[in-house]
Amino acid sequence: MLLLHILTLTLLAGLSMPFGAVLACVERIRPRWLEQEFRHSVIALGGGALLSAVALVLVPDGLEHLDTAPALFWFVLGGMIFLCIDVLLNHFKTSASQLVAMLADFVPESIALGATFALGGSNGLLLALLIGLQNLPEGFNAFRELRHHTDYSARRIILVFALMALLGPMAAWLGYVWLADYPAVVSSIMLFAAGGILYSVFQDIAPQVKLARHWGPPMGAVLGFALGIAGHMLTA
């Protein structure tokens, strides 16, 4: 029953990606400034949620089973790997950088979620909530990028995102079945994901949030983090 619970949670968290894509289909909000502010606020909400996942779950839980040196190694390595992915995507001029970043967050976090439940940790439900919360704006952003740079139809992109949601249960199953006896490996994955997420927030998300003479989007980041705090307190 616990495994079924974990698989269901990760599937629901993954389905936030196509839901975010559906939300991105809403066009021509009037007045025009409101449309821009809405889009930037959604992106900022994702940034806040990502930061709360790093601050409230991934780093605290990741530090439990590692000494200082390996903890720092895995955290910095996560950032470096995401940097290398960024450089490669830029080199090949791909139009899927946001999609790759979304999956690079989703898969290791899902592995960590499955392993967290297997280890009897109390933050599994919170991590699932935060994964779903961050996947929504990431799906929103990735959809807009693909629609802008490719000829893919909206329906096709949403279907692909829905299929990618299945990666969550697969990764969670891997973490639950294979990594429960290796808490240090789980901690390493968490810190690796945290370093990569932090890189993504400041490289991709934060620069897209700012709008001249608009102050709503930064509050989206505050609200995203606030939702993480609320989830942390409610599941503690």
Q: Which pLDDT tens digit goes with each residue over 15-31?
A: 999 998 888 776 554 54
Residue 38 near residue 29 (C-beta atoms within 8 A): yes
Structure-block tokens of residue 135: 């996947």
Q: What is the pLDDT of residue 33?
A: 44
Residue-range definition of the domain harbouring residue 115: 2-235
d(CA 152, CA 92): 19
Structure-block tokens of residue 113: 């979620």
pTM > 0.75: yes
Q: What is the pLDDT of residue 205?
A: 63
Q: What is the pLDDT of residue 3?
A: 84
Q: What is the pLDDT of residue 233?
A: 64
At residue 95 the predicted structure's pLDDT band, cuts being 50, 70 and 90, is low
Closest alpha carbon to 7 in 211, 135, 178, 173: 173
| CA distance to 8, 57, 131, per residue, from 168 (Å) | 9, 18, 10
Count how many domains the chain has: 1
Summarize the confidence of residues 205-230 as an average pLDDT. Answer: 58
- Considering only 15-24, 85-94, 112-121, 154-163, which range has the smallest mean pLDDT? 85-94
- Considering only 91-105, 144-158, 163-177, which range has the smallest mean pLDDT? 91-105
Residue 30 burial class via C-beta count within 10 angstroms: exposed 0-12, middle 13-18, buried 19 and up: exposed
